[in-house]
Structure 1
Amino acid sequence: MGTYTEQLDHIIETISPEDDNYTEELMAVMASFREFGEALDAFIVDKGYKGDITDVKAKVAFIKSKFDQAGIQEYPRNMKKWFTDQVRIKDRQKDRRTIFQLCFAFELDVQESEAFCQKVCLQRGFDCHMIEEAVFYYAIKHHLSYNEAMDIIHQVPKPDQQPLNLKGDVLFTQTITKEIDRFQSSEELIAFFIDNLDQFGYNNATAYRTIHHLWDTIQGPQGLANKEREILFAQDKPKEAKKLSTWDIYMQILGFYEFDDDHSPLFAFQDRSLKPILKNNALLHPLAEDCFPDRQGLEHILRGAHKSNELVRKTMILLAFYVYWTKWCLKNRDATIITNAEDCQRCYYEMNHYLVEAGYPALYAGNPYDWIFLYAMQDDYPLDTFRYFMKELYVHNQNLLYPLADASEKPEA
């Protein structure tokens, strides 16, 4: 694990947008991330697998033997494909159960389970705002078996899913976890769920609150986006100023809110969607593309609608990165001032504070999406570096965006 992340950390320090072979360097980075099967290989070897690491049947048999020893009668589906077809465990409730079955099967403790979720599965750990995962957390903490955990789950009614209303009474995940840590019996746990059942119809309350806070800092007449825009477009006349829409701000964050001399957009997008430049882009790993933050997803989160863990986490990272470095740029307007290691560390700790407080894993270089931001923040000009990366994605896939405009209007590479 250490060698793998050390390699990715080293790459972060060695490539620059100014390199002549920058595109090729990015392609090499995207090809260096481990597939799920490779991460699982390292995990099972660490847990006692002695066979041929290329023998898929033997690896599947080893995992099944752990399930048998733990008394877990249902084997995960597609185990063979984990190693042969680069299939991952999806970030869906019914699929996340497989992750925790593996934790029980390999007798992981709470800390080891969290690390398995983050570094092998590239997902969040226990979401204790979901009853099933809260029970798994309690069971692993108290050394109960998977079957004992399922017995507890079957005794709790299923809550009705509902949108999150941050203006109402909200039970935050950290509070739930602290309560669970107090319980010494399954009866206490079950009673807690039943007494607060209506508070388990939503999740991500802390994350949604954080996203609201970050977005409120960005939008509005006195928001960071407008203040940055006054610098970026200082030559614009006041009468040409307009209220920024969510899409305008989103484009500005990513570096696409730019115009030609005649005020026509330099970057064209059909239906206000980034999908054409993200999909099958050799400069972007599929895991980074999956649930890449978008305007529609952000608007749904702001309305309290249920969205995937992956989208919520990625949105939080993007907004936190923009807020930190835009504040830095507004404070240090002298073009000769560049960032230093202390600035990078402060950004790193601030972003991780938001993530961990919301129950999400800290930034990890082995996660292709996280890597983009870890790479950008170490540069002398982090916001510019991130935006340059996004523009590289655009240029690489720009043929998929046209004929949205006449071929003569294509931006130059």
Structure 2
Amino acid sequence: MSECGAGQSPDLERLLVAQGARTRIVLSDLHASKPLSASEAQNQLLSETPPFCERFSQFLARRYGVEDDPKEVKACLRSAGKKKRLGFSSANFSQWLSSSKWEQNLDARSLFKLCLAMELSVEEGRAFAYDCLHQTWLNYRIAEDSVYLYFLEHQGLFGDEAFVRACEVIEWFKENETDATVGASGEGDYLAAGYTSLIAREISVLSCDVSSQSQAIDEIKHYLLRNRRAFSGIRQSAIQTYNTYFSEGGVGITPLTGLYKDAEGLTLPRSGYLDSSYIQEIPSRKRLLWGTANRGRWIENNGSDLDILNRRDILIEQHSVGKMLKRGVPRGNIIALLFFHYCLERRDEISCGNNRSVLFDGFYWLVNTTLVDECGMMPLHPRKPFDALFLKSVSSYPAGLDPIVYLNQMLEDFYAR
């Protein structure tokens, strides 16, 4: 993978290394991919990733030094949860160790609990999240996540009380936090790319010189109050990124609404632009959809959804900026937005058959830089089915097809099975 990620920032390189050797091999294979039919690409996508419960069980078994048996693994996890007052439920165990879903999205608190249950360091926890769970690691730009990261660093100091004390600090912050919304006067300071790295370094310094629990708790409380404006800045930054690429444009950026109107002669709705209701009204608009026409039939026939499209990643009816201000922009929406933008902006290059590995590298670099630096999110993960769907669309589309059409062909093939 000599070209892939050329010029990539050290932070992105470290993240890729943390994802594991298998991840780098998969990414290299994508970089060098040959054109495939939608059906062949879909088969590869489904075969490369074992179900979540298998990956999770194997990791726990190795960590606890027991056989990879759900009962043994569950017993170890239950024992650790009881000792450390983590509050695991039977529903947790069923979801993580018995469900046949390929992907499960753990919330930040569940990830923190599991790291404590297995006594993982911050770096070990990062590797666990990326290489085993294929999901977002805790984010220093979110107050709750910062507390979890801090207490992971200080497991030795807090022992079995780490989870309880972390929850107490979070509740204290909610009660003492003043309005954290960043106003226009200081907004730029908190929207700059790279601020995530700066705030992460600050909390790392806090972890060096504490000798008692009370001192550690005082330090993290001061840190939370000192940076409370920055915790809302990451949400504002993601919203600003979304608006810039979707409707407003920016320096050297043509909004997606303009690109799509030029290409198709159609106007995208302000919200719900992935809404499947447009399939019947305007068939050509399906080029920006997800092959959802047969999703209901798939679930009915199979009893579950493979979650290549996870509703936590793509919220079909909740794209309006007003709702984003309250809930934040889902990572999947940012990926989709950049995919459509990248492909429409480079239609001429794609139709001329230009070097697809160069196009792949450009897409990989654009999306990762935006996700990590601007939005404080996890970079593209080639072993995560949702992310791989877009990477494969850019790397394997046949001649004469553009990647947007190819993406929909893969999804239609999947849901038609």
TM-score, normalised to structure 2, is 0.70
Contact map agreement 1:246 1:295 (CA 8 A) in 2: no
1:366 matches 2:387: no
1:324 matches 2:342: yes
Residue in 2 that maps onto 1:405: none
Displacement, 1:179?
3.2
Residue in 1 that maps onto 2:88: 75
Residue in 2 that maps onto 1:187: 218
1:98-122 deviation digits (Å, cap 9, x = unpaired): 2111112222222221222233333
Q: Secondary structure at the match of 1:211?
A: helix
Displacement, 1:10?
4.7
Residue in 2 that maps onto 1:46: 62
Q: Which runs of 5+ in 1 are unaligned?
A: 234-240, 400-413
Residue in 1 that maps onto 2:200: 177
Amino acid in the other structure paired with 1:350: L
Rounded Cα–Cα distance in structure 2 between residues aligned with 1:384 and 1:166:
42
**1:151-162 residue pairs with structure 2 within 5 A?**
151-155=165-169, 156-158=172-174
Cα 1:292–1:10, aligned 2, differ >3 Å: closer, same or farther? same
More helix as a share of residues = 2
Q: Which runs of 5+ in 2 are unaligned?
A: 1-19, 210-215
1:178-221 deviation digits (Å, cap 9, x = unpaired): 432332443122123245557657863432232222224669x9
Contact map agreement 1:224 1:323 (CA 8 A) in 2: yes
Contact map agreement 1:339 1:379 (CA 8 A) in 2: no
Q: Secondary structure at the match of 1:359?
A: coil
Q: Secondary structure at the match of 1:346?
A: helix
Contact map agreement 1:89 1:96 (CA 8 A) in 2: no
Contact map agreement 1:344 1:377 (CA 8 A) in 2: yes
Which has the higher mean CA deviation after the structures are superposed, 319-328 or 143-152? 143-152
Residue in 1 that maps onto 2:405: 387
Displacement, 1:91?
4.7
1:246 matches 2:267: no
1:70-101 deviation digits (Å, cap 9, x = unpaired): x3453354354222233799657xx5312111
**1:97-246 residue pairs with structure 2 within 5 A?**
97-143=109-155, 144=157, 145=159, 147-148=161-162, 150-155=164-169, 156-158=172-174, 167=184, 169-170=186-187, 171=190, 174=196, 176-183=199-206, 184=209, 185-194=216-225, 204-216=235-247, 223-227=255-259, 229-230=261-262, 232=263, 244-246=268-270
Displacement, 1:158?
1.4
Rounded Cα–Cα distance in structure 2 between residues aligned with 1:140 and 1:152:
10
1:61 matches 2:63: no
Amino acid in the other structure paired with 1:245: P
Residue in 2 that maps onto 1:315: 333
TM-score, normalised to structure 1, is 0.70
Displacement, 1:376?
1.4
Q: Secondary structure at the match of 1:297?
A: coil
Contact map agreement 1:9 1:365 (CA 8 A) in 2: no
1:339 matches 2:352: no
- The structure number with the bigger radius of gyration is 1
Aligned residues with identical type, % of pairs: 16
Rounded Cα–Cα distance in structure 2 between residues aligned with 1:48 and 1:344:
40
Which has the higher mean CA deviation after the structures are superposed, 359-368 or 375-384? 375-384
Cα 1:129–1:153, aligned 2, differ >3 Å: closer, same or farther? farther
Cα 1:88–1:136, aligned 2, differ >3 Å: closer, same or farther? farther
**1:17-32 residue pairs with structure 2 within 5 A?**
17=36, 19=37, 22-23=38-39, 26-27=42-43, 29-30=45-46, 32=48
